[in-house]
């Protein structure tokens, strides 16, 4: 029994460099769930990497085609379980397009607030996970989770659940803000910059972090655009594409915020872009919490049950924390969608994994995977 | 009495390690047995009150040489070898015979065999250091130079242009 | 300077180390069995059935209309209608469930049953200590196990319960007024 | 000296005195061994729980606090868990080596404690070449790690073992080189001799610890960094980097064997920390003359705890390096710097006459500059030409 193992299809190709094939995952500590990377290594350098997914496939799309329109809403919570509210929003947007329902202004503001809070949760946790993959003992992750708790408390007092919120409805939101909620949210938003400063003091200048991330996993803008990469990953490569600006859905058109763009598209840029985006999110939060009007939260014509949209199709997309989250619906006039399709940003961002990992070491591959920001619930659906 | 037992143990360890290193099939086992033999030798030195030599033996042979051998085995090929006679076995036998002859010669010449009690040599570290730095400074420096040259040579041999990663397919 | 960033990071962790001893903002952990968080009014875990009055089975608001069963996304509700009817709070005769089972191991706490229920009969509970060693029978709740008095609902969701109670009072009053204005048909029941 | 200072020595003497005369040396040796094993065994248990609690606090959580008061009995619970776990040996493993590896790691590490002076008259073995003994014993751990990784027949284990050996060999060089100035200036390889050399006091009663000299300070830092790497602790925990190679060479170990590895690693850390205390921090001496009344072993323990805390602190803060960066850091920064430090120590030695109030600071600053400037340049060279600081554009 030899300690070396040459996989059949690779053996003999290059006698000088027998390749070591390792299967990272599906129960590897740092594949963010049940993801697998089949990597062929020369020493510790990755020469081939095949992402394998599907271990968490739950038949989301087919279930949604058998469910009523409302019934799929709680299932969308479970796509990207870190940011259930943005998933809700994407799906609600698609159904609203399909049915032509308008959303009252107050509901739009609530959606923006919740969406940006979700972005804060997601980005801070992702940076924490990235550092976890780099071996930082989870300290940044714990700090991120500490702040996440405070935001989750807000979610709980509004929607009744911390993670699986199931809050948005077609034509508005499920319930109005409880009294005092805005004040609490302002408090959280006011303290968040302190946490960001702390985070940056811990991480941004750290020489080890810089050494581990600079120049690692470079994604060129051309490749990013060609592969359909979206979200912070695309913007870290320097491409200006943010659906909040492009579509100006919700009331984002009224918000004053900027889109940070990276320079080199490496892991450090992806880290930094997320930090900067959080700061911009805080700006949006401030404006939305200041300007939120009174009024109804649900379109009076909205039907909860027995929604039967006219035959047609609609694609609703939002700038989720991970990228463009789209829902494509075809209605045949029945009570459930004829076709239901999710465009999961994680999955599509993951397709460039091999291109980023080639020529890097296996330790880098793990970090690059961490910087892609995947949630397997969304990748495998 | 205790001394004899300890010596026997150390000697057995050394010899058994050496024999095993020669006969075992698995190269990694051989290397580890060789390390055991080195350690046994160090123990014998220590038993003879030669602390410096004993610890240096441990540090250099177990800590560095054995690891080097192990590394070489892993970097060059798998641990299993085919039981085939080496083409240069005659050379090996010759060298072995020569070394054995030298050893027998020096053992036969040692005063211990001729009945005279072995004189105890006091060699504290300080004196070894002084001797090395005064009387034997030239040989020491020469050996140092040789080793440095060997190191540089090894680096040059090992230095190979890293294969450039292929550009990602468009 | 070399290592400046590392030293900055070390200072940050040291600050958190000290801070975790005196700053409740930093040490957010709640030591669960000894401490619990104050209940959140909107919080929801699993559904329960509301009843009025003293008798749980007689006072169930549920009319076995099957809407929740149909709408439940994971399909964890199972209802069989009873043949017998009973008067509801407005005096109208309504059906009642013979069997009302919820498989709590399947329920995903989305609360859609509550939203679609036209009779305010099913509401979300806030219990979370439900672990059992029998995951099939132990987590299949029947109507007896699901029934909770209206006071319990009032206790959990104060705002919602007072809204519901006011609405029901109003409807009851209207129904009574209607009944008083329109004398019952001679000889007619129902 | 106070009674408390020599209490352990006294107990040892008295206890050995009960034995018949010919057996006395043996009995006192056994007593010393038992003492060391008991103290550092307890220390191991305490450190595991203290580490988890400190890490927890640094990460804003409680850490273990369920077993016993303040979670102090956590190690007991861990021990019971470890011992009752199934001991799994992979089918294709080399069973003998798989079994031997934890022993080869743990046994020599215990030996290393023999030469450490824990207090006045409190070293089990006063060897003439104690430092050499220490490093010689330490070299066995590399073989143990290799045995563990290779015998497991697991790719992750093998990669972990290769990483571990590469790392240990690379960091042994700065580790040993950074101790050389101390040996040179103390003129002794004996740890007791080194402690004695740091025993005198200067103005104000400040002890003459090596760490108060520029080369000593630099040496301590170099030594600590190299020691972190030698004991495979974060940020140099690549051999076990759990996010990359699961648990490295420990992947296929469970139960008691895993516990032995764990024990061996911590003991290695303790030993090397004890050596750092002895070499640079004056051993068991008090920092000021007027503090010498406190028992010497207490001083040793205090310095030891502070250094252990430093290791835990670094672990809580820093991410892990990559293998090539790790090796570069050793060969291109630590090793040259420790050589330069040697020269600085020599300069310090030659300027030994500058003892006056005016000249002493000049000497200090000069030597400090001699080591600080190369450190700066080497750091620059290591990082390569820094790219211009990144600017992030904003799109409106």
Q: Go through chain A and tell me how many residues it has.
A: 381
Question: Taking phi first (over 0 means left), then psi (-120 to 50 degrees means alpha), and beta for anything else, what does residue A315 get?
Answer: beta
CATH, residue C74: 3.30.70.3270
D155 inside 8 A of chain A by CB? yes
| Residues D304-346 pLDDT 10s | 999 999 999 988 888 888 888 888 888 888 888 888 888 888 8
Average pLDDT, chain A: 85
Going by CATH, does the domain composed of B1-81 fall within 1.10.10.10?
no
Q: Cβ–Cβ of C42/A157 closer than 8 Å? A: yes
HEC letters along chain D: CCCCCCHHHHHHHHHHHCCCHHHHHHHHHHHHHHHHHHHHHHHHHHHHHHHHHHHHHHCCCCCCCCCCHHHCCHHHHHHHHHHHCCCCCCCCCCHHHHHHHHHHHHHHHHHHHHHCCCCCCCCCCCCCCHHHHHHHHHCHHHHHHHHHHHHCCCHHHHHHHHHHHHHHHHHHHHHHHHHHHHHHHHCCCCHHHHHHHCCCECHHHEECCHHHCHHHHHHHHHHHHHHHHHCCCCCCCHHHCHHHHCCHHHCCCCHHHHHHHHHHHHHHHHHHHHHHHHHHCCCCCCCEHHHCCCCHHHHHHHHHHHHHHHHHHHHHHCCCCCHHHHHHHHHHHHHHHHHHHHHHHHHHHHHHHCCCCCHHHHHHHHHHHHHHHHHHHHHHHHHCCCCCCCCCEEEC
| pLDDT exceeds 80 at position D16 | no
pLDDT in the model for residue D352: 75
Average pLDDT, chain B: 79
Q: For testing the chain D interface, which of B26, B30, B55 should be mutated: the one with the most D CBs within 10 Å?
A: B55
Contacts of A45 in chain B (CB under 8 A): 165
| pLDDT exceeds 90 at position D153 | no
How far apart, in whole angstroms, are the C-alpha atoms of residue D307 and residue D304?
5
Question: Rounded to the nearest 5 degrees, what angle is found at the Cα of D165, between the Cα atoms of D163 and D170?
Answer: 95
Beta A172-173 vs C147-149: how paired, if at all?
unpaired
Which percentage of chain C shows pLDDT scores above 70? 94
pLDDT in the model for residue A3: 41
Q: Could you say which of D235, D392, D394 has the minimum Cβ distance to residue A272?
A: D392
**Band (B84; pLDDT cuts 50, 70, 90):** low
Residue C10 in domain: no
Q: Could you say which of B79, B163, B170 has the minimum Cβ distance to residue A3?
A: B79
**Band (B160; pLDDT cuts 50, 70, 90):** low
**Band (D375; pLDDT cuts 50, 70, 90):** confident
pLDDT in the model for residue A9: 45
How far apart, in whole angstroms, are the C-alpha atoms of residue C95 and residue C82?
7
Radius of gyration of chain A (CA): 22
CB pairs under 8 A between A and B: 20
- Of D284 and A189, which is predicted with more confidence? A189
Q: For testing the chain D interface, which of C17, C23, C24, C31 should be mutated: the one with the most D CBs within 10 Å?
A: C17
Q: Cβ–Cβ of A30/D237 closer than 8 Å? A: no
How far apart, in whole angstroms, are the C-alpha atoms of residue B9 and residue B40?
9
pLDDT in the model for residue B159: 67
| Residues C2-34 pLDDT 10s | 778 888 888 888 888 888 888 877 888 888 888
Looking at the complex, report in whole angstroms how far the Cα of residue D274 sits from the nearest Cα belonging to chain C: 23
Mean pLDDT of the A46-63 span:
86
HEC letters along C30-50: CCCCCCCCCCCCCCCCCEEEE
- Of A338 and B3, which is predicted with more confidence? A338
Whether the complex's predicted ipTM is more than 0.90 is answered with: no
Which residues span the domain enclosing C125? Answer: 47-181
How would you label B81-105 residue by residue, b for 16+ Cβ within 10 Å and e otherwise?
A: eeeeeeeeeeeeeeeeeeeeeeeee
pLDDT in the model for residue A120: 92
D26 inside 8 A of chain A by CB? no
Contacts of C116 in chain A (CB under 8 A): 70, 304-305
Mean pLDDT of the D157-180 span:
86
Domain total of chain C: 1
Q: Go through chain B and tell me how many residues it has.
A: 170
**Band (B99; pLDDT cuts 50, 70, 90):** very high
B56 inside 8 A of chain D by CB? yes
| pLDDT exceeds 50 at position C94 | yes
**Number of neighbours of residue B41 by Cβ within 10 angstroms:** 22
Q: Which chains touch B (3 or more CB pairs under 8 A)?
A: A, D
What do you get for the CA distance between the two ends of chain C, in Å? Answer: 91
Nearest chain D Cα to C23, which residue? Answer: D60
Stretch 270-289 of chain A: residues touching chain D, C-beta under 8 Å? 272-273, 276
Mean pLDDT of the A246-274 span:
88
CB pairs under 8 A between A and D: 119
| pLDDT exceeds 50 at position C79 | yes
- Of D117 and B84, which is predicted with more confidence? D117
| pLDDT exceeds 90 at position B98 | yes
| pLDDT exceeds 80 at position B115 | no
**CA distance to A53, A198, A373, D302, per residue, from A347 (Å):** 9, 31, 10, 53
> Are A175 and C42 in contact, with CB atoms under 8 Å apart?
yes
| Residues B123-155 pLDDT 10s | 677 778 888 888 888 988 999 999 889 888 887
**Band (B29; pLDDT cuts 50, 70, 90):** confident
Point out the least confidently predicted range of A6-20, A58-72, A301-315, D158-172: A6-20
Q: Cβ–Cβ of D243/A206 closer than 8 Å? A: no
**Band (D40; pLDDT cuts 50, 70, 90):** confident
Q: Cβ–Cβ of D313/C13 closer than 8 Å? A: yes
| pLDDT exceeds 70 at position A160 | yes
Q: Could you say which of B78, B163, B170 has the minimum Cβ distance to residue A3?
A: B78
| pLDDT exceeds 50 at position A4 | no
Residue C79 in domain: yes
pLDDT in the model for residue A21: 80
Q: Cβ–Cβ of C9/A201 closer than 8 Å? A: yes
Tokens representing A222 are 């051309």
| pLDDT exceeds 70 at position C65 | yes
Contacts of D374 in chain C (CB under 8 A): none
| pLDDT exceeds 60 at position C190 | no
| Residues D176-235 pLDDT 10s | 889 888 888 888 888 888 888 887 777 777 778 888 888 888 889 999 999 998 888 878
**Band (B102; pLDDT cuts 50, 70, 90):** very high
Chain C contacts to D (CB-CB under 8 A): 1-3, 6, 9-10, 12-14, 16-17, 19-21, 26-29, 31
| pLDDT exceeds 60 at position A13 | no
Residue C1 in domain: no
Looking at the complex, report in whole angstroms how far the Cα of residue C13 sits from the nearest Cα belonging to chain D: 6
> Are A242 and A259 in contact, with CB atoms under 8 Å apart?
yes
Nearest chain B Cα to A223, which residue? Answer: B170
**Band (C81; pLDDT cuts 50, 70, 90):** confident
Stretch 35-54 of chain D: residues touching chain C, C-beta under 8 Å? 54
| pLDDT exceeds 70 at position D351 | yes
D318 inside 8 A of chain C by CB? yes
**Band (B101; pLDDT cuts 50, 70, 90):** very high
Point out the least confidently predicted range of A216-225, A344-353, B158-167: B158-167
How far apart, in whole angstroms, are the C-alpha atoms of residue A109 and residue D254?
54
Please state the domain extents for chain B. 1-81, 124-160
Residue C102 in domain: yes
How far apart, in whole angstroms, are the C-alpha atoms of residue D262 and residue D268?
10
Q: Cβ–Cβ of D133/B51 closer than 8 Å? A: yes
pLDDT in the model for residue A15: 43
Top mean-pLDDT range of A154-168, B54-68, C74-88: A154-168
Looking at the complex, report in whole angstroms how far the Cα of residue D112 sits from the nearest Cα belonging to chain A: 29
Point out the least confidently predicted range of A29-38, C44-53, C166-175: A29-38
How far apart, in whole angstroms, are the C-alpha atoms of residue D266 and residue A222?
50
pLDDT in the model for residue B142: 92
What sign for the dihedral angle of Cα B68, B69, B71, B76? positive
- Of C51 and D360, which is predicted with more confidence? C51
Q: For testing the chain A interface, which of C20, C40, C69, C156 should be mutated: the one with the most A CBs within 10 Å?
A: C40
Nearest to residue B37, comparing CAs of B22, B51, B47? Answer: B22
Mean pLDDT of the C69-95 span:
83
Asked whether at least 3 C-beta pairs link B and C within 8 Å, the reply is: no
pLDDT in the model for residue A123: 92
Whether residue B126 has a cis bond before it, omega within 30° of 0: no
> Are C2 and D379 in contact, with CB atoms under 8 Å apart?
yes
Q: Could you say which of A20, A276, A363 has the minimum Cβ distance to residue D244?
A: A363
pLDDT in the model for residue D189: 82
| Residues D272-315 pLDDT 10s | 999 999 888 888 888 877 777 778 888 888 899 999 999 999 88
């Amino acid at each position: 029994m030899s300690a070396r193992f040459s996989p059949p299809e690779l053996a003999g190709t290059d006698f000088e460099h027998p390749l070591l094939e390792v299967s990272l995952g599906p129960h590897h500590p740092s594949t963010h769930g049940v993801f697998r990377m089949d990597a062929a290594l020369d020493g510790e350098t990755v020469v081939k990497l095949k992402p394998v997914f599907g271990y968490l496939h739950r038949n989301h799309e087919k279930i949604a085609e058998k469910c009523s329109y409302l019934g799929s809403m709680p299932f969308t919570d479970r796509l990207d379980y870190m940011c259930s509210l943005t998933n809700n929003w994407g799906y609600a947007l698609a159904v609203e397009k399909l049915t032509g329902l308008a959303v009252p202004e107050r509901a739009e503001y609530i959606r923006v607030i919740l969406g940006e809070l979700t972005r804060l949760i997601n980005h801070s946790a992702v940076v924490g996970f990235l550092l976890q993959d780099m071996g930082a003992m989870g300290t940044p992750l714990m700090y991120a989770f500490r702040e996440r708790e405070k935001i989750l408390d807000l979610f709980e007092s509004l929607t009744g659940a911390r993670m699986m919120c199931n809050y948005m409805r077609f034509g508005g939101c499920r319930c109005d803000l409880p009294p005092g909620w805005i004040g609490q949210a302002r408090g959280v938003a006011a303290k968040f910059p302190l946490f960001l400063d702390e985070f940056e003091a811990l991480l941004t200048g750290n020489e080890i972090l810089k050494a581990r991330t600079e120049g690692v996993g470079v994604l060129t803008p051309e490749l990013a655009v060609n592969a359909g990469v979206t979200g912070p990953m695309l913007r870290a490569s320097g491409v200006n594409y943010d659906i909040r600006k492009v579509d100006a859905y919700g009331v984002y058109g009224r918000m004053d915020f900027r889109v940070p763009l990276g320079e080199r598209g490496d892991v450090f840029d992806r880290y930094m872009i997320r930090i900067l985006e959080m700061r911009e999110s805080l700006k949006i939060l401030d404006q939305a919490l200041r300007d939120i009007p009174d009024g109804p939260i649900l379109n009076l014509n909205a039907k909860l049950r027995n929604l039967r949209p006219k035959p047609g199709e609609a694609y609703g997309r939002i700038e989720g924390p991970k990228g463009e989250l789209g829902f494509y619906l075809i209605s045949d006039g029945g009570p459930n969608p004829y076709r239901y399709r999710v465009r999961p940003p994680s999955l599509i961002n993951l397709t460039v994994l091999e291109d980023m990992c080639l020529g890097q070491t296996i330790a880098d591959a793990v970090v690059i995977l961490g910087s892609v920001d995947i949630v397997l619930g969304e990748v495998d659906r | 009495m205790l001394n004899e037992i300890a010596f026997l143990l150390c000697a057995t360890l050394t010899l058994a390690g050496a024999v095993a290193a020669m006969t075992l099939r698995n190269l990694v086992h051989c290397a580890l047995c060789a390390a055991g033999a080195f350690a046994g030798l160090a123990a014998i030195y220590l038993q003879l009150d030669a602390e410096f030599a004993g610890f240096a033996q441990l540090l250099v042979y177990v800590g560095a040489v054995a690891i080097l051998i192990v590394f070489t085995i892993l970097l060059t090929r798998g641990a299993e070898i085919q039981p085939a006679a080496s083409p240069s076995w005659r050379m090996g036998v010759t060298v072995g015979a020569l070394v054995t002859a030298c050893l027998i010669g020096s053992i036969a010449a040692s005063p211990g065999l001729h009945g005279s009690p072995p004189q105890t040599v006091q060699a504290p570290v300080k004196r070894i250091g002084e001797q090395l730095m005064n009387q034997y400074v030239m040989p020491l420096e020469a050996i140092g130079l040789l080793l440095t040259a060997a190191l540089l040579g090894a680096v040059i041999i090992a230095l190979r242009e890293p294969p450039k990663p292929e550009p990602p397919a468009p | 300077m070399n290592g400046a960033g590392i030293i900055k990071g070390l200072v940050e962790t040291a600050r958190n180390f000290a801070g975790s001893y005196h700053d409740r903002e930093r040490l957010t952990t709640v030591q669960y069995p000894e401490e619990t968080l104050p209940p959140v009014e909107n919080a929801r875990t699993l559904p329960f059935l509301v009843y009025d009055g003293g008798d749980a089975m007689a006072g169930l608001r549920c009319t076995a209309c099957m809407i929740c069963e149909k709408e439940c996304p994971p399909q964890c509700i199972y209802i069989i209608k009873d043949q017998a009817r009973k008067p509801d709070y407005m005096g109208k005769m309504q059906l009642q469930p013979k069997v009302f089972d919820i498989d709590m191991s399947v329920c995903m706490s989305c609360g859609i049953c509550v939203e679609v229920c036209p009779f305010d009969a099913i509401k979300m509970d806030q219990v979370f200590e439900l672990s059992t060693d029998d995951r099939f029978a132990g987590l299949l709740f029947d109507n007896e196990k699901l029934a909770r008095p209206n006071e319990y609902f009032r206790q959990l969701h104060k705002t919602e319960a007072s809204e519901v109670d006011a609405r029901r009072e109003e409807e009851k009053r209207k129904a009574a007024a209607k009944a008083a204005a329109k004398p019952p048909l001679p000889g007619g029941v129902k | 000296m106070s009674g408390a200072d020599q209490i352990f020595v006294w107990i040892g003497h008295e206890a050995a005195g009960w034995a018949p005369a010919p057996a006395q040396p043996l009995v006192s040796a056994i007593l010393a061994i038992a003492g060391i094993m008991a103290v550092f065994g307890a220390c191991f248990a305490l450190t595991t729980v203290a580490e988890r609690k400190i890490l927890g606090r640094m990460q804003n959580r409680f850490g273990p606090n369920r077993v016993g008061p303040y979670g102090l009995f956590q190690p007991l619970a861990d021990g019971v868990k470890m011992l009752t776990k199934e001991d799994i040996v992979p089918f294709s493993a080399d069973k003998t080596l798989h079994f031997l590896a934890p022993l080869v790691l743990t046994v020599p590490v215990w030996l290393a404690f023999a030469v450490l002076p824990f207090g006045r008259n409190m070293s089990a073995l006063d060897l003439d070449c104690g430092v050499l003994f220490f490093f010689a014993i330490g070299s066995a751990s590399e073989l143990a790690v290799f045995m563990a990784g290779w015998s497991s027949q697991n790719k992750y284990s093998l990669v972990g073992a290769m990483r571990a050996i590469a790392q240990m060999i690379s960091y042994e060089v700065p580790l040993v080189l950074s101790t050389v100035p101390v040996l040179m200036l103390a003129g002794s390889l004996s740890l007791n001799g080194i402690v004695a050399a740091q025993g005198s006091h200067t103005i104000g009663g400040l002890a003459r610890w090596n760490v108060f000299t520029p080369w000593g300070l630099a040496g301590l830092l170099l030594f600590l960094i190299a020691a972190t790497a030698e004991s495979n602790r974060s940020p140099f925990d690549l051999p076990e980097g759990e996010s990359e190679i699961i648990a490295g060479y420990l992947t296929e170990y469970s139960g008691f064997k895993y516990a032995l590895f764990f024990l061996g690693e911590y003991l290695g850390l303790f030993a090397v920390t004890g050596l750092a205390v002895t070499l640079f921090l004056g051993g068991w001496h008090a920092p000021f003359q007027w503090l010498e009344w406190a028992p010497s072993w207490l001083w040793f323990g205090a310095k030891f705890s502070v250094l252990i805390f430093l290791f835990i602190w670094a672990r809580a803060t820093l991410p892990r390096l990559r293998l090539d960066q790790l090796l570069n850091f050793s060969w291109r920064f630590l090793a040259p710097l420790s050589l330069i430090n040697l020269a600085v120590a020599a300069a310090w030695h030659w300027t030994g006459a500058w003892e006056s109030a005016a000249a002493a600071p000049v000497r200090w600053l000069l030597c400090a500059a001699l080591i600080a400037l190369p450190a700066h340049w080497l750091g620059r060279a290591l990082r390569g030409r820094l790219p211009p600081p990144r600017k992030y554009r904003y799109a409106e």
